[in-house]
Chain A
Amino acid sequence: MKERDASGQETGDKWEIQLRKGCLELAILAALWDGKLYGLEILRRLESGSDLIVSEGTVYPLLSRLKALGLVRSEWVESDAGHPRKYYALTPAGKQRVREMAGMWARFSGSMSKLLAPLARGK
């Protein structure tokens, strides 16, 4: 995708960025599991609940994509803060999808943990 920062960067760093990026959709959908949230709340939840370093400029376009795919819906709600907020909630398709993704995640991380067990035990 963006090769601009590839030159000076170590492969490990790029790998980590890709890994975090890949988890972001699942993280956002999971954050909405308990009920509707607006953009900044989603960001705060991701920052406090995980060590995903989230770029704000990534989350909003991503939310718009999730909406276009029918996994979340949105509504504007007036707030005391003086400006309306755009709340997002999972659609039935989104709920279904996040359950499937969580299942895949559990299987994947389980098998990875097994594979990595020797490293954790040390030499």
Chain B
Amino acid sequence: MAGDVQQRIEAYLSRLRGRLRGVNGEEVREIVEELRSHIMEKAAASGEVTAAGVDAALAALGSPEELASQYMTDNLLARAEVSRSPLQILKGLFRWASLSVAGFFVLLGSIVGYFFGVVLMLVAVAKLFHPRTAGLWTYPDSTGSMELSFRLGFGSVPGVGKDVLGWWIVPIGWLLGCALVMLTTHIAVWFVRQYRRSILLPRN
């Protein structure tokens, strides 16, 4: 087979490989090998592997970017589905959000859930370092009604207002924070699973 034909195949595959970011190495190797095998066989359909045959085979596969994006979408969602890592899940959700409105709302809900979970845990930790100022405080706001606010404890002791939970923020913050992060993860994974099933299987 002529060198430039080989080169054309390799250039295509290397562009594809470059776009399969985050897919594990073994899987990338499998994808690339499978497509190389496909291109070679398709190009050799009429006997010899010709430049025209290779070009036709590559054209039929579509651009490497488009192809990679098809692999990536499901890969990210698949990993989000089995993952318990918020980072991995958010990555998958970002991809899903780019595809559908439902994905966008699940992403939004998850961000809110994770945000409050993390805030609760942060306040619980901050209490250990700023015992007098960190915690869940109530203040009278401008209209006179009370509002709740989490404080990490930076700044001075607030003049008005009251530390509602005192030291209880430490266990409560941790427990509630962890629970919220876990709950958010569970719900997000559940939605991702439903979505992946729905794009694969016909609904009743």
Contacts and interface: CB of A to CB of B under 8 A. Distances in A.
Given A39-B38, A65-B78, A57 B201 contact: no
B71 A61 contact: yes
A83 interface: yes
Contacts of A26: 202
A68 B37 contact: no
Contacts of B202: 22, 26, 101, 104-105, 108
B66 A68 contact: no
A64 B74 contact: yes
Interface in B155-204: 196, 200-202, 204
A65 B74 CA distance: 7
**Which bracket fits the contact residues of A?**
20 to 34
Nearest to A108: B202
A33 interface: no
B5 interface: no
B62 A40 contact: no
Interface in A84-123: 84-86, 97, 101, 104-105, 108
A1 B41 contact: no
Given A56-B60, A68-B78, A69-B200, A83 B41 contact: yes
Interface string B15-56: 000000000000000110111111011101000000000000
A26 B202 CA distance: 9
Q: A-side binding surface: helix, strand, loop or mixed? A: helix
Contacts of A60: 31, 34-35, 38, 61, 67, 71
B70 interface: yes
A7 to B, nearest CB: 19
A58 interface: yes
Nearest to B82: A68
Interface string B77-89: 0100000000000
Contacts of A25: 200-201
A86 B41 CA distance: 12
A81 B60 contact: no
A83 B200 contact: no
Nearest to B44: A81
B100 interface: yes
A40 B43 CA distance: 12
Contact of B70 (A57, A76, A83, A105): A57
8 contacts: A1-B100, A40-B42, A55-B60, A56-B38, A61-B70, A81-B40, A85-B37, A86-B33
Closest 8 pairs (CB-CB, A-B): A57-B62, A61-B70, A65-B74, A86-B34, A68-B78, A83-B37, A61-B71, A57-B61
Interface of A: 1, 22, 25-26, 38-40, 55-58, 60-61, 64-66, 68-69, 76, 81-86, 97, 101, 104-105, 108
